[in-house]
Structure 1
Amino acid sequence: MADTGDVATETRPDPGREVPETPGPPRRRRLSPWAEYPLLAAVALVLAFLIKTFLVQAFLIPSGSMQNTLQEDDRVLVDKLTPWFGSEPDRGEVVVFRDPADWLAGHELRPPTTTQKVLGFVGLMPAAGEQHLIKRVIGVGGDTVECQGTGPLKLNGRPLDEPYVYEGNTPCSDDAGGQFRITVPAGHLWVMGDHRQHSQDSRYHRNDGRGGMVPLTDVVGRAVVVAWPVPHWSTLPVPDAFTPAP
């Protein structure tokens, strides 16, 4: 009799016998659409909130005080991330800030559109009722800013070349509010609109209890891009007049 102890033999399944299936990984239970859609909406809202709070936010330009750099009804994107790393607004930057001392009192505000309400609800634009302004930073803490006659505007004694000033305007306004010589305290900004004769900026709020200054704590962020409408798309760099800083 032959020794078969080391010989492998093939085992064929019995055709009449059921072979048990090998159990696989358990299937995930899929949510029904009625549960899935609200969950996706909640995730989208959380992401929108995080983006709006820490990264960027869109703002609507409500007036012509920053022409021709910004037009009325433009949408700008504001960088809110950089300040989290300790960066402060610098001369020449266009910044969005909360109304520091009722600067908008007495101004008729347009009611928000449906689109604004929706974008405000999800956090991609400010909520309806929030009061913000947008201006150019002229002076930071320690700077001396001066206007005599129609200009030029002087920063730390040096006349500024301001090609961004609205065509036909003068750098300084020849009126009581437009004539000044101030020194910006630490932790504050002196801001002015590019449409000089159409901007109620720091010059005209020197009796607001803060000397027309904007506290750094009220600054939301720096406007970096005109995002809408498409034909107005542009970046908002610091003008050469401010580099190197005076």
Structure 2
Amino acid sequence: MDTDAQPLERDRSSAPDEGSTEEGSRSTRSRARSWLRAGPGKGAGRLRLSVRTATLVGAVCAVFVLLLSTFVVQPFQIPSSSMEPTLQVGDRILVNKLAYDAAEPPARGDIVVFDGRGSFVQEELTENPVSSVVREGLAMLGLAEPADTDFVKRVVGTGGDRVVCCDDEGRVEVNGAPVDETYLHPGDLPSEVAFDIVVPAGRLWVMGDHRSRSSDSRDHLGSPGGGMVPVDRVIGRADWIGWPFGRRTSLAPTDAFRHVPPPAPPPGGGHG
């Protein structure tokens, strides 16, 4: 009986010999070096492409928003309490720039945003031009307060209207009709300042809803233009509150002026 141990033949399928192992290692290292050389470059290229694409998309979006704000709807941040309770400090309203045209001018009761130069403030612009451009860009996005020359008020009288304060019950009268201004701030009088004016054609008499906190047409009777805003200086009509989220709503028109008659024709009007 042969009891001497015999060497067994190695199973080549389960364990590579030294030559094949060394060759495999060299191949793996070569692939790794190739990946290290090529991988980061391709990744950086993809990253550059992504950054370029994101920048392009951001630029297109910014241009779209600016065009939208310039011609259609502009956000406007409320900086003061002059329109409370309708509008509160910090509200972002959306101003409809397509609301008016020659055939449909601002109407009594509308809340309008307007450029007050020449009526509420001096015509000359004193703000630094560079800071003005930056601020106007941010204001168009609703990210900054509007310029000191921009105001938001309610239209009380339009061209030809006679606006008087006050009747025996303390109400504002327009063309002889008393107006029940239910939108006024609780506790406010319609006006503590007496006035009797006729609004020139193409202009507006505007007042804030928080009459005791509003500097409006009443305060500029002695200014150039008599505190009455040219219609062509109106930026648009405030139609919505867009922010804060809890105050999001449309600004419904008031019916306070529904019974006001049209203005009387000027003396001699309608005669040949």
Q: 1:233 maps to which residue?
A: 248
Q: 1:207 maps to which residue?
A: 222
CA pair 122-134 structure 1, distance change in 2 beyond 3 A: closer
CA contact (8 A) 1:49 1:122 kept: no
Please state how far the C-alpha of 1:96 moved relative to its aligned partner. Answer: 0.5
CA pair 157-84 structure 1, distance change in 2 beyond 3 A: closer
Q: Could you tell me the TM-score, scaled by structure 2's length? A: 0.67
Among 139, 153, 163, which residue is 2:182 paired with?
163
Tell me the amino acid that sits aligned with residue 239 of structure 1: T
CA pair 121-194 structure 1, distance change in 2 beyond 3 A: closer
The answer as to 2:203 corresponding to 1:181 is: no
CA pair 51-245 structure 1, distance change in 2 beyond 3 A: farther
The answer as to 2:158 corresponding to 1:143 is: no
CA pair 187-61 structure 1, distance change in 2 beyond 3 A: same
Please state how far the C-alpha of 1:82 moved relative to its aligned partner. Answer: 2.4
CA contact (8 A) 1:193 1:201 kept: yes
* Greater Rg over alpha carbons, structure: 2
1:96-107 alignment runs, 5 A limit: 96-101=113-118, 103=120
Tell me the amino acid that sits aligned with residue 183 of structure 2: Y
Please state how far the C-alpha of 1:197 moved relative to its aligned partner. Answer: 1.2
Alignment partners' CA distance in 2, 1:43 and 1:148: 53
Q: Deviations over 1:190-233 (max 9, x none)?
A: 00011111111000101111011001121110001111112222
Q: Deviations over 1:18-41 (max 9, x none)?
A: xxxxxxxxxxxx993343222212
1:89-128 alignment runs, 5 A limit: 89-101=106-118, 103=120, 120-121=137-138, 123-125=140-142
CA pair 179-223 structure 1, distance change in 2 beyond 3 A: same
Q: 1:27 maps to which residue?
A: none
CA contact (8 A) 1:137 1:192 kept: yes
Count of aligned residue pairs for this structure pair: 202
CA contact (8 A) 2:184 2:211 kept: yes
The answer as to 2:237 corresponding to 1:222 is: yes
Partner secondary structure for residue 74 of structure 2: strand
CA pair 161-210 structure 1, distance change in 2 beyond 3 A: same
CA contact (8 A) 1:100 1:215 kept: no
Q: 2:19 maps to which residue?
A: none
Q: 1:80 maps to which residue?
A: 97
Alignment partners' CA distance in 1, 2:224 and 2:102: 30
Q: 2:62 maps to which residue?
A: 45
Among 171, 176, 181, which residue is 1:152 paired with?
171
Please state how far the C-alpha of 1:164 moved relative to its aligned partner. Answer: 0.6
Tell me the amino acid that sits aligned with residue 147 of structure 1: C
Please state how far the C-alpha of 1:243 moved relative to its aligned partner. Answer: 2.4
Q: Deviations over 1:113-150 (max 9, x none)?
A: xxxx7993494238767231110000110111000377
CA contact (8 A) 2:91 2:241 kept: yes
Please state how far the C-alpha of 1:171 moved relative to its aligned partner. Answer: 1.1
Partner secondary structure for residue 82 of structure 1: coil
Alignment partners' CA distance in 1, 2:173 and 2:208: 15
CA contact (8 A) 2:77 2:144 kept: no
Q: Let me know the Cα RMSD of the aligned residues.
A: 2.6
Alignment partners' CA distance in 2, 1:198 and 1:130: 19
CA pair 126-141 structure 1, distance change in 2 beyond 3 A: farther
Q: 1:70 maps to which residue?
A: 87
Q: Say which is worse superposed, 227-236 or 67-76, in terms of deviation.
A: 227-236
Partner secondary structure for residue 226 of structure 2: coil
